[in-house]
Structure 1
Amino acid sequence: MHVMRTLTLGRLFPIILLCSLCSVVIWIYHFNNNVMPQPSNGIPQKRAEKPFWRIGDNVLIAKALENYSDKWKKHEANFTRFRSLLSSKCHAVSKAVVTQNNTKLGSNVNYDGQSRKPLKVTQALFNILPKEHPFGNATWESCAVVGNGGILANSSCGEEINLAQFVIRCNLPPLDKRYEKDVGNKTNLVTANPSILLEKYSGLMERRRPFLESLRPYGQALLLLPAFSYGQNTAVSLRAFYTLEDLGSNSPLPVFLNPDYLRTLSNFWRERGLNSVRPSTGLIMASLALEICSNVHLYGFWPFSKHPYGNQPIPNHYYDNRESKKNVHSMPTEFEHLMNLHKQGVIRIHLGECQPTHN
């Protein structure tokens, strides 16, 4: 009898194992499709009202949303404390842009993104630098930093963004009629990564009219170029400067990001646990805004591929689905730091749809 029982169990074991694996597969299917398994009484279970975050990126999403609330209120003491610390380390008001005041004739400019021979400030280079810092000593009451995240699509945030006193945009995003309702059209400062100039406009070595046409929506905004982060950025940034200089006063005003500022800003965030190769343009602009603005609002900052409120897929950008360089920037970690500032009442992050404003 003992032998028979052993043989029977031996035959049953593969069947039991197979059934167990099937159960696991069924549960994984339900889990990944946000469907609750049905109880034995046959009564369907209602779906949870809140998103049911899953494995992978969704764990990061759930963690990010722990610090988020739509009912945001500025905490003046926290804002003042953080801004004072940031200003004491980075000095954006006087150092964010290369000027004749902070960069002397004959001095060396050290690239912040790579180790290479410093660039000597010649008379020709010195002459094109602004004498004074373009931000002066002014503090804007409200600033909108507009990222390019796909979360802005169908957000209806354009009107709200346009109401900000100072609007910052990143990397020459499109602002035509297709996107105006969601992202607005006002711009006071826009950045231009030289890689865009190389990829889209042949490094300005050929016809430059397409480049000039792309800048038309920005009016007379500041055009911020990281000319001294990498050696290959310098020549193309100077070509952009001279192209706009030839166009005249109705074009954006090109200025250069100061590598010393970028270096101190990288150290500031590294001391707070951000270990990426370098901060993203979005984080740089959010940090800049915290020094020059009394109230900072972020739009289009959401580094995940699914919407926080509907769980539906969203593109990488509001205008395309091109992936960013993940080996350079650590977007989820950056976003976690920004979310902490949101929770502390220092900076406000806008997710989801914006409500109509009434003047």
Structure 2
Amino acid sequence: MIGLLWEGRGMRGHCFSVMLTVLFLGTLLTTFIWYMSNDSHVEPHRLPAPKKTEKRAPSVSSDSCNDCSHVEPDKLPPQKKTEEKAPSVSSDNCKGCSKVINKVLEHYSQTWTKQEENYQKYRSQLHTRCRGSEKAILTQANTPVGSKILYDGEKQRFRKVTLELFRTFMKESPFSNKTWDTCAVVGNGGILTNSNCGNTIDSTQFVIRCNLPPLENEFKAHVGSKTDIVTANPSSYMKKFGGLQGQRRPFVDSLQKYGNSMMLLPAFSFAFSTPPCLRALYSVEDFEIPIQPVFLNPEYIQNLTDFWRSQGVREIRLSTGLVVTSLALEICTNVHLYGFWPFSHHPHGFQPLTHHYYDDRKANYFHSMPSEFKLLLQLHSQGVLRLHLGQCGEQ
């Protein structure tokens, strides 16, 4: 009897398990059939990738794509940026330099007129703080025997003025109590090439040139020949003439084109500059040519550096061009600058330029504006001096 009861219970349990299994399989089958009949329930984030690519493809034109305005400007193709910012400049002629040149032209293109009040302000400040008319060069009047000359490039070094050195100084400044009406300061920039500015430059009363530039033959029509001051950094003649250690006749002959002008020597900027500058002076004396060697006063250079630094010039040392321009602002009523253009391309035709009008060396600046030129452009805009860019007669 007990065995029959256990057997009955086992059969009922088995039937119950079979029923559960059938119910489970039925549920799975129902779910599968429902899922297959509703395949439209695909989530948006599973859209095919090509659809996104088609929206962002840069080749899609704005005419056929109403939803392209979301593209940020900095994602535009580089050539599109260039065309928007400088449509007048060919990318073949001036890659990347158009922005800074166009910025210069914004200021330069305005009609230039001298503004007497601004000119007098700068002239007065330069005279008060730097006194170039009296101290630009070393003279027997401002640098007596026994005094010390401090090198402006090496503050810890000095040169004592001996009787022999004193003898080489001019007796007094040639600029004291003198004023010239028109002065031309001539740099050596490649912008002077084919400028036809020679006659215009020579027509001014006083002409200052930089670093013993060539003036003869094909250059004369564009840069002129008249010279009242010419600067002579040792680097401009040391290599070419063997440091004046041997024959000096070639060096002396090269100076003949400057006539009886003053040759401004930076003998006391650095100690190593003193010997070659003295050799240059002795060469002129020995061959008795009319050019007059004079020494730039390092005290004047230091005062100028402090003054222009207060006006925003960042260069550690002032260029020769800015030094003689500063002197011109003190001693000249009307100052004109030629050959001052540091960039790689011409401001009007955008043709490539060399660093100097007489060589094939490349220009230094391409995408930035040196602070000295920025200052000269500012003085031009303020009517203090006139900066000439381009061919003479067309400005």
Task: Please classify the TM superposition score into its range, dividing by the shorter chain length.
Answer: 0.7 to 0.9
Aligned to 2:393: 355
Cα shift at 1:87: 0.8
The question of whether the paired residues in 2 share the 8 Å contact of 1:221 and 1:253 is answered with yes
Cα distance change of structure 1 residues 300 and 7 upon mapping to structure 2, 3 Å threshold: same
Cα distance change of structure 1 residues 3 and 113 upon mapping to structure 2, 3 Å threshold: farther
Q: Does 1:275 align with 2:275?
A: no
The question of whether the paired residues in 2 share the 8 Å contact of 1:215 and 1:251 is answered with no
Cα shift at 1:10: 2.5
Aligned to 2:194: 154
Q: Does 1:239 align with 2:289?
A: no
Aligned to 1:344: 382
Q: Does 1:28 align with 2:28?
A: no
SS at match of 2:152: coil
Within-5 A mapping of 1:171-320: 171-248=211-288, 250-320=289-359
Q: Does 1:125 align with 2:175?
A: no
Question: How far apart, in 2, do the equivalents of 1:12 and 1:122 lie?
Answer: 88
Question: How far apart, in 2, do the equivalents of 1:331 and 1:203 lie?
Answer: 34
Cα shift at 1:312: 1.2
Question: How far apart, in 2, do the equivalents of 1:2 and 1:17 lie?
Answer: 26
The question of whether the paired residues in 2 share the 8 Å contact of 1:197 and 1:236 is answered with no
Cα shift at 1:216: 1.7
Question: How far apart, in 2, do the equivalents of 1:325 and 1:192 lie?
Answer: 21
Structure 1 length as normaliser, TM-score? 0.86
Cα distance change of structure 1 residues 231 and 19 upon mapping to structure 2, 3 Å threshold: same
Deviation per residue, 1:284-326 (Å, 9 max, x gap)? 1111100010100000011111111111111111111336888
Cα shift at 1:202: 1.8
Gaps of 5+ in 2: 1-39, 61-70
Cα distance change of structure 1 residues 232 and 320 upon mapping to structure 2, 3 Å threshold: same
128-137 or 330-339: bigger deviation: 330-339
160-169 or 133-142: bigger deviation: 133-142
Cα shift at 1:148: 0.4
Gaps of 5+ in 1: 37-46
Deviation per residue, 1:196-222 (Å, 9 max, x gap)? 222222211122222112212111110
Q: Does 1:88 align with 2:128?
A: yes
Within-5 A mapping of 1:99-118: 99-118=139-158
* The one of 371, 379, 391 aligned to 1:333: 371
Number of aligned residue pairs? 341
State which structure, 1 or 2, has the greater radius of gyration over its C-alpha atoms: 2
Question: How far apart, in 1, do the equivalents of 2:358 and 2:146 lie?
Answer: 43
Deviation per residue, 1:50-101 (Å, 9 max, x gap)? 5579775433222222221363111112111111111111100100000111
SS at match of 2:217: coil
Cα shift at 1:14: 5.7
Deviation per residue, 1:164-202 (Å, 9 max, x gap)? 100000001111111111101111110011112222222
Cα shift at 1:3: 5.0
Aligned to 2:21: none
Paired letter, 2:127: S
SS at match of 2:294: strand
